[in-house]
Amino acid sequence: MYSKQTIHSLLKAHPLLQQVMELSPVTWLNPNRKRMQDLPDFSIQKKDILEATKLWQRFTSYFKIAFPETAITDGAIESPLLQIPKMQDSLSGGGKSITGKLFLKCDNALPIAGSIKARGGFYEVLLHAERLASDAGLINEESNYDIFNSDEFHRFFNDYTLGVGSTGNLGLSIGILGSKLGFQVKVYMSGDAKQWKKELLRKNGAEVIEFEGDFSVAIHAGRKEITADPKAYFVDDEDSEALYLGYTTGAVELAEQLKEQNINIDKYHSLFVYLPCGVGGSPGGTSFGLKHLFGDNVHCFFVEPTHSPAVLIGLLTGLMSEISVQDIGIDNLTEADGLAVGRPSKFATSISKHLISGIYTLVDDKLFELLTQLKDSEDIFLEPSATAGLLGPQRIATTNYAKENKIDMSKVTHITWATGGDLVPDAERESFYNKGKSLLQK
């Protein structure tokens, strides 16, 4: 924890930090956001996003065979975009109406892993597997990738290890796909990871190494052990360009879906996107993709729990990954396990600093209320952390953001990114729902 003198200096420079430390929900608008034409050069560009989408296309034949449930999408790892008017009505009670149209990007329904981590996690595993196979002369440009499901490839990959530190969903994506390909997989899980996620990983053949500490403890231990093995590869959620690129491709998919639904995004019709945020990689990569497709007409907002505002304090103070929530006395204890991160991603946050429009925080109880409201209104189930973006339209409406940016909110398309939920067991679903019901009745 920082000294009293250091914290005093931070509070003097950044008054909003006082409310953050008091665990009060806050809304912060990013003063460092730049227009697209003024962005600095990053290590990845739009061409890299488009190139990344080609990897998914190469592996569609593999997914159709290895995971038959993907046959319905012809081997594509994609999720629906749904308008949720009943939920919009439910949220609009008490004089807090939402103008514009509200949609849900259902990454909770992504095939196999049931979360947004199927984008970044799968992408990095596939990229690594492809490189290994290519270096070994097992594939070439003409290869049909269904051979990745062969016994020969399983034996080949079994000589290699994949490792990842995770609060839950990233570990699931690496564990399920990595084990299916034949890799030895080690998942280093923090104390807040759900038991059912650990059991599912073990069922799929991954080794789970548990820690009592938080995400930072788990990822540090995993990184140290895995990087010491020359035949092992660590998927580093705090500093991975490949993970980030995988997430950017979700923006390409969304752009196609908006086009299919005749939703036009331009300077008169803005796109507001609300993204639950843990370490910052998946919302950061998604935002990067969206900004490079829609430019200044898209406005991206991150959402964090009041007990785990890692990216918020990194950006608010300017200290980025050099500060953790524990440094200023916040416990990082939240029931939103996917968002239970104390220190932001070094790689992703350095880019998000210039891209995102802002961040808001909310209390855990609100996550469960939103979960129940969505289930009752639209019959869609999300895990608690995935509901965080549903408050976005109302929270941003309480600021001067629209006025300052000359945005007609009646013409805005709002998209809340549903990051996970389809693999949650029935008993957990019922418990989450009943907790939300109880809170709403108070």
Looking at the fold, whether 100 and 188 belong to one and the same domain comes out as: no
Number of domains present in the structure of the chain: 2
Looking at the fold, whether 360 and 325 belong to one and the same domain comes out as: yes
Residue 287 domain-assigned (yes or no) = yes
Residue ending a domain, choose from 188, 212, 240: 240
Residue 414 domain-assigned (yes or no) = yes
- pLDDT tens-digit readout, 211-263: 888 888 889 999 999 999 999 999 998 889 999 999 999 999 999 999 999 99
Looking at the fold, whether 138 and 73 belong to one and the same domain comes out as: no
- pLDDT tens-digit readout, 381-432: 999 999 999 999 999 999 999 999 999 999 999 999 999 999 999 999 999 9
Q: Give the CB-side neighbour count of residue 179, counting CA atoms within 13 A.
A: 21
Q: How confident is the model at residue 190 (pLDDT cuts 50, 70, 90)?
A: confident
Residue 9 neighbours by CB under 8 Å, 6+ apart? none
Task: Write the DSSP string, 180-216.
Answer: HHT-EEEEEE-TTS-HHHHHHHHHTT-EEEE-SS-HH
Looking at the fold, whether 167 and 181 belong to one and the same domain comes out as: yes
User: What's the per-residue H, E or C state across 120-172?
Assistant: HHHHHHHHHHHHHHHHCCCCCCCCCHHHHHCHHHHHHHCCCEEEEEECCHHHH
Q: How high is the pLDDT of residue 305?
A: 98
The CATH number given to whatever domain includes residue 187 is 3.40.50.1100
Residue 56 domain-assigned (yes or no) = no
Looking at the fold, whether 121 and 236 belong to one and the same domain comes out as: yes
Residue ending a domain, choose from 211, 240, 269: 240
Looking at the fold, whether 193 and 76 belong to one and the same domain comes out as: no
Instruction: Tell me the whole-structure pTM to 2 decimals.
Output: 0.96
Looking at the fold, whether 149 and 288 belong to one and the same domain comes out as: no
Residue 312 domain-assigned (yes or no) = yes
Looking at the fold, whether 132 and 95 belong to one and the same domain comes out as: no
Residue 301 domain-assigned (yes or no) = yes
Q: Which of 61, 168, 177 is nearest to 111 (CA)?
A: 177
Task: Write the DSSP string, 350-366.
Answer: HHHHHH--EEEEE-HHH
Q: How high is the pLDDT of residue 145?
A: 98
Residue 195 domain-assigned (yes or no) = yes
Looking at the fold, whether 212 and 341 belong to one and the same domain comes out as: no
Residue 63 domain-assigned (yes or no) = no
Looking at the fold, whether 248 and 187 belong to one and the same domain comes out as: no
Classify residue 239 by its DSSP letter: S
Residue 49 domain-assigned (yes or no) = no
Residue 230: domain span: 116-240
Looking at the fold, whether 196 and 218 belong to one and the same domain comes out as: yes
Looking at the fold, whether 228 and 297 belong to one and the same domain comes out as: no
Residue ending a domain, choose from 191, 224, 240: 240
